Chain A
Amino acid sequence: MTGYLMNNLGYPILSLVTFLPLFGAVGILLHVRKSDNVPRWMALATSGVTFLVSLPLYTHFDRGTHDMQFVETRPWIPAWNVNYTVGVDGISVLLVLLTTLLSFICVISSWKAIQTKVKEYMIALLLLETGMIGVFVSLDLFLFYIFWEAMLIPMFLLIIIWGGPRKMYAGLKFFLYTLAGSVLMLLGIIALYHEGGRTFEIVKLMGQNYPMEFQFWVFLAFFVAFAIKVPMFPFHTWLPDAHVEAPTAGSVILAGVLLKMGTYGFLRFNLPMFPAATMHFAPMVLILSVVAIIYGALVAMIQKDLKKLIAYSSVSHMGFVTLGIFAFNVQGLEGGILQMLNHGVTTGALFLCVGIIYERTHTRMIADYGGLTKVLPVYAVLFMIFTLSSLGLPGMNGFVGEFLILLGAFTSQRVYAVIGTTGIILGAAYMLWMYQRVMFMELKPKNQSLTDLSWREAVTLLPLAALVFWIGIFPNPLLGILHQTVNHLLEQVNGAQMTASAAGLFKF
């Protein structure tokens, strides 16, 4: 079993983290008394314990190796050679931690916002958490696909049951878009299974030299699935609808974790498994990334709805992530991965902020606000922190990520880096303009009586604010976790590039 470091914690930590929320959900399901508070507390306890249980992944993570860690494996469907194999490397461990943290925060943030079908809501949220963690820890393609698709069900329900007025349209669009992408990936998975020697083991499938034509098609099958999820430029139209209609926690999860699955997919599958095809398609991906950066920013600028604005800013920010990943150097990749986390923290927090005032005023229109600093000073400060983090102010997390991405892109893909940089300027423009219109200027009379953050709401935002500064000032602990994994990934990509260019496959 090369590439694996078996779990030696003495207990199956990854299975525990993955399935604790599921057990919590079953527990809530079995609870029959007609009280809304019991499901809330149970969900809070479950997600809180899950978060605590996931912490040893950070403290016990071995930074000196690129191997998969905390690995557990056992046979599942022998006839197809499917195993239940879970494990994490530098990339996925951070995403798992982000997921457990954001899920916990989501439960707190939904405490008052959700008043109908609380029990079902909490069950859906916990099932979603299991699905998301499962996607990040799976080291078996079949298992990965199960989690990847199964996760759609609770997310779909979150949108269609607790969503806004156009939830039916948004929910269906979200589901069908994602499903359309994933079924093609399913064919890619099966093709890979046959080509790679009848195995679904991701680590084994990575180190193989597939023929170029095979790489070409299977790369595309995987790429479309992940590009829809990211979402990259022409596949992004489901995102604003889903964000606007989803309840706050749904938006937070969507922006914070679900979008990361797309870029995670690139890193886990496209780059290491189809390096030659990756090289072949890199110019296209870079162009799409730059288009997403500029287009997302421009469209964000003209939005009247706060959630839509943040949704389009996500398109722009995820463009930076893909730009960094496809720069193919240490800075670009580490920046890209760090920016995935940053975007999860910052955009998640921004959606929470919008949710907080939405609960008070039931409007998300920027024009309905103004002058909120006068009545909501604490809220304004926190909102400011996340706004600045989103536009990449030095000393905050967004800066580190974007800086590394642009540094990496500048060394290998100068033109794209230059164009991409304008995205930062545009980002500053739309975020600050939005902040100005919401927080300064005239205070509307109907907003006079708004109350500032409650302790519960502050609890949801403060940890994220702390993360903003922590990553912004001391990014090294996180980069240290990434380092070996990223180097190994680059070896896999560049090694293939060497052999391929030696064979004369590339004529740029």
Chain B
Amino acid sequence: MPSFTMGNLVFIVPEIIVAGIAMAVLLLDLFVRPERKYLLGYFSLAGLGAAAYQTWLLSGTQAVGFSGMFVLDGYATFFKFIFYIAAALAILISINYLKLEKIEKGEYYGLVLFATCGMMIMASGFDLISIYLGLELMALSVYILAGFMRKSLRSNEAALKYFLLGAFSSGILLYGIAITFGVTGTTNLSEIAAFIGAGVYSRPALILAMILLVAGFGFKVAAVPFHMWAPDVYEGAPTSVTAFMSVGPKAAGFAAFLRVFTVAFPAIQPDWTLIISALAILSMLIGNVVAISQTNIKRMLAYSSIAHAGYALVGFVAAGPEGVSSVMLYLLIYTFMNVGAFGMVIMLRRSGVSGENIEDFAGLSKKNKMAALVMLVFMFSLAGIPPTAGFVGKFYIFMAALNAGFLWLAVISVIMSVVSAFFYLRVVLVMYMKEPETETELSTSFPIKLAMAVAVYAVLYIGMDPHRVLDLAVSSVAGLL
């Protein structure tokens, strides 16, 4: 086991940059005048760009550092790009929104960056301890972000709920880690696998540990039955935070979840397959069915995000290189389309209108044809209709599931995606068929328009010519398995 050397620092240059920029934002915040806070947003974007560039430079390297705690591989790199995209889009859609909600504070961008840094550590963590550290860094930052509208009751409630339940779930996760350590005597993923592979271990204890880990990670990815927090928190948190939360931390949760289970617990795969398929089925069922009856679009998207976690779990169950890469591709695609959908909700937020009810979309096609069209693309993509990226993502997951022999899981997921079409299309119906109720214009600004343009372009591009991202996802799992 190599001990720490300065050379190891090279592997974490992107993390250092993100954390450094986050702290710099906090410091600079003192010197930036209140009406110029948006500059900090652009500064954070530049930081993310620099980190992404460093990750790009490191993308060829396969390395394990920090005594086996931290790993650099294609898998981590792919996820880190998802996080950069999620954070960058979230910052772009925040800049104008924070002004509107009068919560324009520099800490906001700092916290987004800290959360991103935590997520990156989760993706690269190769030890239950380092994964847990990353997870807590992410979670603590997001708790604060959820309550960022200090004067709003709903936002406070969301933060408190998220914090309490999140703390519970972290506790459960820690239990799982502790029992795993008790059984195997190590927290390093490959050593755990080696110990289990040797065959001398207490099976009930290990199964218990595995179940506790499922519960802990299940909470982070908002899978049923660990989803209770999601609708309230998604609804109460500032919309830009909801957008970020629904893609970044979810993807990070999956990154750690997948790595822990495929690397450390391949020996008990039949056991976790069973539990995770149950989670997948329940998430798709409850997420999609409950979403139908929602009138608040943030709640609807919360249930939809539960359902999408279910689809991703189907790919997880399929496992193997195909299953894992299908989840990765799906999360990348989901990032674009979901941030896009939330971005539209933000654009509807303007003085006097909350923009959170589905009815607020009424007549959007009359007021702003382009915005309606863009929302249409996101809705069809979330429903998984070609030629959008959502279809490509789902197709790959179904393909992986069928290939691995999970026919019933695939059947349930396709039926549920028909159910989901119902509530996504309802938004389209409202936009195109109802008369507008208010005359005010949309609150657009350059950054949010840029974010929307990027997201819609990505959704259509990946939908029509998926081979580049697909190849990336396929080649990225090579080092993992």
Which residue in B365, B387, B402 is a CB contact (below 8 Å) of A187? B402
In Å, the complex CA distance between A171 and B411 comes to: 25
Which residue in B386, B433, B465, B470 is a CB contact (below 8 Å) of A168? B433
**Nearest Cβ on chain B to A278's Cβ, whole angstroms:** 22
A79 near B410 (CB under 8 angstroms)? no
Q: Indicate whether B351 reaches chain A with its CB closer than 8 angstroms.
A: no
A:77-99 near B, CB below 8 Å: 77-80
Q: Which residues of B contact A179 (CB under 8 A)?
A: 385, 418, 421
B:397-415 near A, CB below 8 Å: 398-399, 402-403, 407, 410-411, 414-415
Give 1 or 0 for each of A53-97: 1 = CB within 8 Å of chain B CB: 000000000000000000000001111100000000000000000
B395 near A186 (CB under 8 angstroms)? yes
Closest residue on chain A to residue B366 by CB atoms: A117
List 7 additional A-B contacts (Cβ < 8 Å) besides A150-B387, A171-B429, A190-B410. A149-B391, A156-B425, A172-B425, A176-B421, A190-B398, A193-B399, A194-B402
B467 near A77 (CB under 8 angstroms)? yes
Q: Indicate whether A302 reaches chain B with its CB closer than 8 angstroms.
A: no
A:287-306 near B, CB below 8 Å: none
Q: Indicate whether A175 reaches chain B with its CB closer than 8 angstroms.
A: yes
Q: Indicate whether B466 reaches chain A with its CB closer than 8 angstroms.
A: yes
Which residue in B385, B422, B466 is a CB contact (below 8 Å) of A77? B466
A77 near B417 (CB under 8 angstroms)? no
A191 near B470 (CB under 8 angstroms)? no
B385 near A167 (CB under 8 angstroms)? no
Nearest 4 interchain pairs by C-beta: A183-B414, A146-B386, A77-B467, A180-B418
In Å, the complex CA distance between A172 and B415 comes to: 16
Q: Which residues of A contact B402 (CB under 8 A)?
A: 187, 190-191, 194
Q: Indicate whether B380 reaches chain A with its CB closer than 8 angstroms.
A: yes
Q: Indicate whether B432 reaches chain A with its CB closer than 8 angstroms.
A: yes
Q: Which residues of A contact B471 (CB under 8 A)?
A: 78-79
Give 1 or 0 for each of B38-79: 1 = CB within 8 Å of chain A CB: 000000000000000000000000000000000000000000
SS class of chain B's interface: helix, strand, loop or mixed?
helix
Q: Which residues of B contact A180 (CB under 8 A)?
A: 415, 418
A183 near B433 (CB under 8 angstroms)? no
In Å, the complex CA distance between A78 and B475 comes to: 13
Q: Which residues of A contact B380 (CB under 8 A)?
A: 153
B:16-52 near A, CB below 8 Å: none
A76 near B467 (CB under 8 angstroms)? yes
Closest residue on chain A to residue B414 by CB atoms: A183
Q: Indicate whether B297 reaches chain A with its CB closer than 8 angstroms.
A: no
A160 near B470 (CB under 8 angstroms)? no
In Å, the complex CA distance between A146 and B387 comes to: 6
Q: Which residues of B contact A152 (CB under 8 A)?
A: 385
**Nearest Cβ on chain A to B126's Cβ, whole angstroms:** 27
A:402-437 near B, CB below 8 Å: none
10 contacts between A and B (CB under 8 A): A76-B465, A77-B466, A79-B470, A145-B386, A150-B385, A176-B418, A180-B418, A186-B398, A187-B410, A190-B399
B433 near A184 (CB under 8 angstroms)? no
Q: Indicate whether B474 reaches chain A with its CB closer than 8 angstroms.
A: yes
B contacts, CB < 8 Å to A: 365, 369, 380, 385-387, 391, 395, 398-399, 402-403, 407, 410-411, 414-415, 417-418, 421-422, 425, 428-429, 432-433, 465-467, 470-471, 474
A186 near B429 (CB under 8 angstroms)? no
Q: Which residues of B contact A168 (CB under 8 A)?
A: 429, 433
A184 near B403 (CB under 8 angstroms)? no
Known contacts A150-B385, A153-B380; decide if A161 and B391 are in contact (CB<8 Å). Answer: no
Q: Which residues of B contact A183 (CB under 8 A)?
A: 414-415, 417-418
Q: Which residues of B contact A194 (CB under 8 A)?
A: 402-403
Q: Which residues of A contact B398 (CB under 8 A)?
A: 186-187, 190
In Å, the complex CA distance between A46 and B471 comes to: 36
Q: Which residues of A contact B470 (CB under 8 A)?
A: 77, 79-80
A:143-158 near B, CB below 8 Å: 145-146, 149-150, 152-153, 156-157
Q: Which residues of B contact A78 (CB under 8 A)?
A: 467, 471
**Nearest Cβ on chain B to A504's Cβ, whole angstroms:** 28
Q: Which residues of A contact B465 (CB under 8 A)?
A: 76
**Nearest Cβ on chain A to B335's Cβ, whole angstroms:** 21
B414 near A186 (CB under 8 angstroms)? yes
Q: Which residues of A contact B432 (CB under 8 A)?
A: 157, 160-161
Q: Which residues of B contact A149 (CB under 8 A)?
A: 385-386, 391
A:241-285 near B, CB below 8 Å: none
Q: Which residues of A contact B433 (CB under 8 A)?
A: 160-161, 167-168
Closest residue on chain B to residue A117 by CB atoms: B365
Q: Which residues of A contact B365 (CB under 8 A)?
A: 161
Closest residue on chain B to residue A76 by CB atoms: B467
In Å, the complex CA distance between A193 and B399 comes to: 9
Q: Which residues of A contact B466 (CB under 8 A)?
A: 77
Q: Which residues of B contact A186 (CB under 8 A)?
A: 395, 398, 414
A:167-214 near B, CB below 8 Å: 167-168, 171-172, 175-176, 179-180, 183-184, 186-187, 190-191, 193-194
Q: Which residues of B contact A157 (CB under 8 A)?
A: 432
A:473-505 near B, CB below 8 Å: none
**Nearest Cβ on chain A to B376's Cβ, whole angstroms:** 8
**Nearest Cβ on chain B to A345's Cβ, whole angstroms:** 30
Q: Which residues of B contact A80 (CB under 8 A)?
A: 399, 470
Closest residue on chain A to residue B411 by CB atoms: A187
B422 near A176 (CB under 8 angstroms)? yes
In Å, the complex CA distance between A179 and B403 comes to: 23
Q: Which residues of B contact A171 (CB under 8 A)?
A: 429
**Nearest Cβ on chain B to A343's Cβ, whole angstroms:** 28
